[in-house]
């Protein structure tokens, strides 16, 4: 295989996670090892930065800042939800690649982003521009197929489990048979994050919170949930419920009030948590119902990130570069779990076309018969992922995060209207 000499471009796309920047650090760290890589560029805000030729010189960032990326939430390069649609956009991407001699493109993102990477890769091949395109998985949703799990998920899971265990201390202290505490977590179409709350239970304490986990995979049955709540209140004096934002009823309609309108035609902004609170309040008199909605907090809570997750995100970045150097292209890095009793992980590769635009749901057999709790199969899967704490430097009492200098690469091409 002939050595491919040229420049690297790294981009981030979609919703950030606590560890997406660790993958950038992994890519940079590995790229520095290879002489055939000349420059290491980043694109600001994913494909938007490519279209607008907004590139930065990552090699000029200090080692300190690159190291700090390993514990910095958000997306240090900026991200976007922009979807390439027009042929002109794709052509522009290739034009920018050629102008800056981009021979290696690493795109860190979820389903949509892997689809974009796939299309760019195929277009480059069609145009005879020799390059290697490797996707790096990231999403707190954990819904990418072809990989045991996605970097970002475990840190969200650890944060939710930590939060539920803390709330349990609070709620138990307040519980007089009348407290219902609801935590609404992310997960539009899969319940991976909601399920992770089960990690808050102590071993052999099945009655520990969360008492009920309401998953998008299990259609919402109002009567059953109300009965469950009453039963738990009687036994525990309080009831802690974790509900996924994507909870749907038997007809597939969202339980959330989201998108509904009030008497004035205004959108009512409550989510599944508020909707559930309303149902509980309306049907069981005399309760105190409290809703917490961590919202975007759960995808950037690096102060409760999983070290395993941060390490694997870094590893995935390194693996992307190694694969590209070895001549691979049009692939996404995957995480493969070892077969042994001790948790190990190594990386693999899957064709981009196979991961793009499909969703991995929580297996039904990992959910208990009761539909509101997780069994040992889920725990065996998730527990190893949340091991270890990321130590974050603090200054003046708050965490210190990386701030890139973002030295711009000179533009070569005429402007382009997005």
Q: Which of 125, 127, 221, 383 touches its own copies (CB under 8 A)?
A: 383
CB-count burial class (<10 Å; 0-12, 13-18, 19+) for 202: exposed
For its own copies, the closer of residues 19 and 323 by Cβ is: 19
**d(Cα 94, Cα 9) in Å, to the nearest integer?**
12
Footprint of its own copies on 10-49 (CB under 8 A)? 12, 15-16, 45, 48
Q: Give the chain's end-to-end CA distance (angstroms, integer).
A: 38
Q: How far is the CB of 12 from its own copies (least distance, A)?
A: 7
**d(Cα 296, Cα 282) in Å, to the nearest integer?**
29
Q: Which of 87, 128, 203, 340 touches its own copies (CB under 8 A)?
A: 203
Q: Which of 38, 112, 172, 328 touches its own copies (CB under 8 A)?
A: 172
Q: Which two tokens stand for residue 275?
A: 């909707």
For its own copies, the closer of residues 265 and 340 by Cβ is: 265
Give 299-353 as a 3 state SS string: HCCHHHCEHHHHHHHHHHHHHHHHHHHCCCCCEEEEEEECCCCCCCEEEEEEEHH
Listed ranges 1-9, 142-150, 228-236, 384-392: which one lies at the site for its own copies (CB under 8 A): 384-392
For its own copies, the closer of residues 161 and 190 by Cβ is: 161
Footprint of its own copies on 144-163 (CB under 8 A)? 158, 161-163
Footprint of its own copies on 234-293 (CB under 8 A)? 262-263, 266-270, 274, 277-278, 281-282, 289-293
Q: What x-and-dash track marks residues 117-136 binding its own copies by CB under 8 A?
A: --------------------
Q: Side by side, which strands form the sheet with 331-337?
A: 55-57, 37-43, 6-12, 102-109, 132-137, 331-337, 345-351
Q: Counting contacts by CB under 8 A, is residue 299 touching its own copies?
A: yes
Please say whether the beta carbons of 128 and 122 come within 8 A.
no
Q: Which of 115, 118, 141, 274 is catalytic?
A: 141
Listed ranges 29-37, 108-116, 173-181, 339-347: which one lies at the site for its own copies (CB under 8 A): 173-181
**d(Cα 306, Cα 387) in Å, to the nearest integer?**
6
For its own copies, the closer of residues 351 and 399 by Cβ is: 399
**d(Cα 229, Cα 223) in Å, to the nearest integer?**
10
251 tagged catalytic: no
Q: Which of 43, 114, 306, 334 touches its own copies (CB under 8 A)?
A: 306
Question: Among residues 391, 304, 388, 375, which one has the least CA distance to residue 345?
Answer: 388
Q: Which of 226, 284, 287, 297 touches its own copies (CB under 8 A)?
A: 297
If you search the block for the tokens 């205004």, which residue do you land on?
266
Dump the DSSP string for 23-82. Answer: HHHHHHHHHTT-TTEEEEEEETTTHHHHHTT-EEEGGGS-HHHHHHGGG--S-TT-----
Please say whether the beta carbons of 24 and 12 come within 8 A.
yes
Q: Which of 173, 286, 414, 415 touches its own copies (CB under 8 A)?
A: 173
Give the CA distances from residue 81 to residues 14, 22, 86, 88, in Å, rounded to whole numbers and listed in that order. Answer: 5, 20, 15, 18
For its own copies, the closer of residues 99 and 174 by Cβ is: 174
Footprint of its own copies on 69-108 (CB under 8 A)? 72-81
For its own copies, the closer of residues 76 and 323 by Cβ is: 76
Q: How far is the CB of 59 from its own copies (least distance, A)?
A: 21
Give the CA distances from residue 310 to residues 93, 251, 307, in Å, rounded to whole numbers and listed in that order. Answer: 30, 39, 5
For its own copies, the closer of residues 277 and 333 by Cβ is: 277
Q: How far is the CB of 392 from its own copies (least distance, A)?
A: 9
Q: How far is the CB of 300 from its own copies (least distance, A)?
A: 4
Q: Which of 25, 386, 390, 404 touches its own copies (CB under 8 A)?
A: 386
Catalytically active residues are: 141
């Amino acid at each position: 295989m002939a050595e491919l000499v040229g420049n690297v471009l790294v981009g981030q796309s979609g919703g950030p996670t606590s560890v997406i920047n660790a993958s950038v650090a992994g890519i940079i760290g590995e790229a520095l090892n290879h002489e055939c890589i000349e420059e290491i560029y980043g694109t600001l805000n994913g494909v938007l930065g490519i279209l607008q030729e907004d590139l930065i010189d990552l090699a000029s960032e200090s080692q300190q800042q690159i190291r700090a990326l390993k514990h910095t939430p958000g997306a240090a390069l900026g991200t976007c939800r922009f979807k390439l649609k027009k042929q002109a956009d794709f052509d522009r991407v290739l034009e920018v690649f050629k102008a800056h001699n981009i021979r290696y493109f690493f795109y860190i993102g979820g389903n949509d982003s892997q689809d974009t990477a796939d299309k760019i890769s195929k277009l480059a091949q069609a145009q005879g521009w020799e390059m290697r395109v490797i996707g790096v998985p990231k999403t707190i949703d954990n819904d990418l197929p072809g990989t045991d799990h996605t970097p970002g998920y475990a840190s969200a899971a650890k944060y939710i489990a930590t939060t539920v265990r803390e709330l349990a201390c609070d709620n138990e202290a307040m519980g007089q048979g009348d407290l219902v505490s609801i935590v609404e977590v992310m997960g539009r179409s899969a319940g991976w994050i909601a399920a992770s709350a089960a990690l808050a239970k102590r071993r052999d304490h099945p009655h520990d919170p969360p008492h009920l986990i309401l998953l998008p995979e299990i259609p919402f049955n109002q009567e059953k949930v109300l009965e469950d709540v009453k039963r738990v209140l009687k036994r525990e004096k309080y009831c802690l419920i974790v509900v996924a934002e994507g909870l749907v009823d038997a007809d597939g309609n969202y339980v959330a009030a989201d998108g509904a309108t009030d008497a004035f035609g205004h959108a009512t902004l409550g989510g599944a948590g508020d909707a559930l609170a309303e149902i509980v309040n309306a049907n069981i008199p005399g309760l105190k119902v409290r809703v917490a909605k961590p919202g975007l907090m759960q995808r950037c809570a690096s102060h409760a990130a999983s070290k395993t997750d941060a390490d694997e995100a870094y590893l995935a970045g390194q693996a992307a570069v190694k694969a590209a150097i070895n001549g691979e292209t049009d692939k996404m890095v995957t995480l493969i779990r070892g077969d042994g009793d001790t948790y190990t992980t190594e990386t693999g590769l899957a064709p981009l076309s196979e991961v793009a635009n499909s969703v991995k749901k929580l297996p039904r057999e990992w959910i208990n018969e009761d539909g509101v709790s997780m069994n040992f199969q889920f725990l065996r899967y998730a527990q190893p992922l949340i091991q270890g704490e990321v130590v974050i430097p603090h200054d003046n009492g708050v965490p210190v995060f990386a701030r890139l200098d973002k030295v711009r690469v000179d533009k070569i091409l005429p402007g382009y209207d997005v």
